[in-house]
């Protein structure tokens, strides 16, 4: 694939990171394409990501991710089922993390040295940690929908949020 883009700027992330991020983002865009506005948002976000990764413009990356996240929220508001919603959010998060990590590598290490190891370790760890988050979300969703208790959901959320801020360092 490297031949397809012969001259990438030095600030562009390594190819492996770029393709993984783009693949994850594409997955998210496909999943959230439940309506025309959500599809449009996702496609726009995807375009922005592709541009940012190809031309090495880090400042264009976050807006692209924000657009994708927006399309996830929109899909959620429009009634996409939570399992898909969780998966799409998971992919967006992964795309963000991998892409940002790639930009960091380009900035600090450059193109010449092999960065396969840190890319692989980082990608796998991110995938695992976010998967834990998604699983947790799915477990609660499944538990709550089984019991049909909004109170339980609320209590869990309040607990989680307050714990989060209590433990803030």
**140 is a site residue for other proteins (CB under 8 A):** yes
Q: CB-wise, 30 or 159, nearer to other proteins?
A: 159
Residue with tokens 């883009």: 5
| Residue 21 Cβ vs other proteins, minimum distance, rounded to whole Å | 14
| Residue 134 Cβ vs other proteins, minimum distance, rounded to whole Å | 7
- Reading phi first (left if > 0) and then psi (alpha if -120 to 50, else beta), residue 76 is in alpha
| Gap between the Cα atoms of 13 and 99, Å rounded | 7
Site for other proteins in 81-120 (CB under 8 A): 81-82, 85-86, 89-90, 93, 96-97, 100-101, 104-105, 107-110, 112-115, 117-118
Q: Is-contact 65 49, C-beta < 8 A? A: yes
| Residue 155 Cβ vs other proteins, minimum distance, rounded to whole Å | 3
Q: CB-wise, 46 or 89, nearer to other proteins?
A: 89
Write down how long the chain is. 169
Give kind and range of the element (H or E) at residue 133. Answer: helix 116-147
| Gap between the Cα atoms of 75 and 38, Å rounded | 6
- Residue 50's contacts (CB-CB under 8 Å, 6 or more residues apart) are 22
- Residue 19's contacts (CB-CB under 8 Å, 6 or more residues apart) are 1
The stretch near other proteins (CB under 8 A) out of 23-31, 43-51, 52-60, 159-167 is 159-167
- Size of interface with other proteins, in residues (CB under 8 A): 69
Measuring CA to CA, how many Å separate 47 from each of 38, 120, 122?
Answer: 14, 25, 25
| Residue 130 Cβ vs other proteins, minimum distance, rounded to whole Å | 7
Question: Which residues form the interface with other proteins (CB under 8 A)?
Answer: 69, 72-73, 76-77, 79-82, 85-86, 89-90, 93, 96-97, 100-101, 104-105, 107-110, 112-115, 117-118, 121-122, 125-126, 129-130, 132-134, 136-138, 140-141, 143-144, 146-167, 169
């Amino acid at each position: 694939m490297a031949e397809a883009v012969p001259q990438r700027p030095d600030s562009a992330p390594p190819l492996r990171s770029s393709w993984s991020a783009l693949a994850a983002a594409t997955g998210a865009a496909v999943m959230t394409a439940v309506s025309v506005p959500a599809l449009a948002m996702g496609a726009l976000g995807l375009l922005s990501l592709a541009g940012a990764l190809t031309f090495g413009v880090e400042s264009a990356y976050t807006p692209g991710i924000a657009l994708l996240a927006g399309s996830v929220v929109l899909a959620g508001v429009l009634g996409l089922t939570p399992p898909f919603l969780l998966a799409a959010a998971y992919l967006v998060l992964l795309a963000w993390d991998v892409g940002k990590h790639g930009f960091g590598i380009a900035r600090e290490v450059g193109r010449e040295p092999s960065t396969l190891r840190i890319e692989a370790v980082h990608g796998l760890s991110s995938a695992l940690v976010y998967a834990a988050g998604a699983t947790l979300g799915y477990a609660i969703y499944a538990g709550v929908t089984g019991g049909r208790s909004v109170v339980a959901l609320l209590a869990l959320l309040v607990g989680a949020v307050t714990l989060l801020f209590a433990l803030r360092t």
